[in-house]
Amino acid sequence: MSKFLKEHIEFYRQFRSHFQTTGAIAPSGRFLAKAIIKPMANRDEPARILEVGPGTGSFTKQIVKQLRPGDQFDLVELNDAFADMLNHLFETDPSFQQWSSQSKVHVCPIQEFESDEPYDYIISGLPMNNFSPEVVTEIYEAFERLLKPRGVLTYFEYMCVRPIRRVVSTPNERTRIREIDEVISNYLGRYRFRKNWVFANVPPAWVQHLQFTDA
């Protein structure tokens, strides 16, 4: 069985078992992955990079292509099975192995993750629409705590998911989605500096880029 097929089967298994924290039914496509890592391309200095919710490593595969000597790459993954897959990649995949001494997988919620130094780049694959408004707020607060003042937070969301859910969901679910939308819109309104459209993904997605500064 090919590595590609094994990855998709494992992703689907985890989706069925942990829908709330997995959020998608397939790993993200390469066009979305390339859009996600774009802010860290063409940099001149070593960087501290944090990936949150890497899953089976769709974005990770693109991130390791950008790593350089002197970089520090941390990955925070809540799902034990996904964390094991990522550690296996760093142990056996040549493109990952060369960076294993500069990389570490942490198994914990991002709200509980601590770091001695802030990060230049945070890349997130967390499914915000699956959480409570309180948890979404906690996640953004963790991002703000862990990112350098001029650092870049990049994450994606599937196009039009919240508007559609507000139409087809139960009243309680509509309230949850509306409150999540208020939290996300507040952060995007204050801190977003770029938005990319990625139509060559299933489903199509927006890529959001934020810097936590009001300047």
**Is a pLDDT exceeding 60 seen at residue 20?**
no
Write the pLDDT tens digit of every residue in 102-154.
999 999 999 999 999 999 999 999 999 999 999 999 999 999 999 999 999 99
Write the pLDDT tens digit of every residue in 26-84.
456 789 999 999 999 889 899 999 999 999 999 999 999 999 999 999 999 999 999 99
**Is a pLDDT exceeding 50 seen at residue 202?**
yes
**Confidence tier at 167 by pLDDT (50, 70, 90):** confident
Where do the domains of the chain lie? 46-210
- Taking domain 46-210, whether its CATH number is 3.40.50.150 is answered by yes
Instruction: Give me the residue label for tokens 């204050």.
Output: 190
Buried b / exposed e over 89-108, threshold 16 CB at 10 Å, is bbeeeeebeebeebbebbbe
Cβ-count burial of 72 within 10 angstroms (0-12 exposed, 13-18 middle, 19+ buried)? middle
Task: Read off the pLDDT of each residue in 92-109 and give the average, rounded to a whole number.
Answer: 97
Q: Which tokens is 118 given? A: 């802030």
What's the CA gap between 105 and 210, in Å, rounded?
A: 24
**Confidence tier at 17 by pLDDT (50, 70, 90):** very low
Crossing angle for the helix pair 58-66 and 30-37, nearest 10 degrees? 50
What's the CA gap between 142 and 179, in Å, rounded?
A: 19
- Greatest C-alpha distance within the chain: 52
Q: Which tokens is 152 given? A: 């870049």
Task: Read off the pLDDT of each residue in 184-206 and give the average, rounded to a whole number.
Answer: 94
Q: How confident is the model at residue 21, as a pLDDT?
A: 40
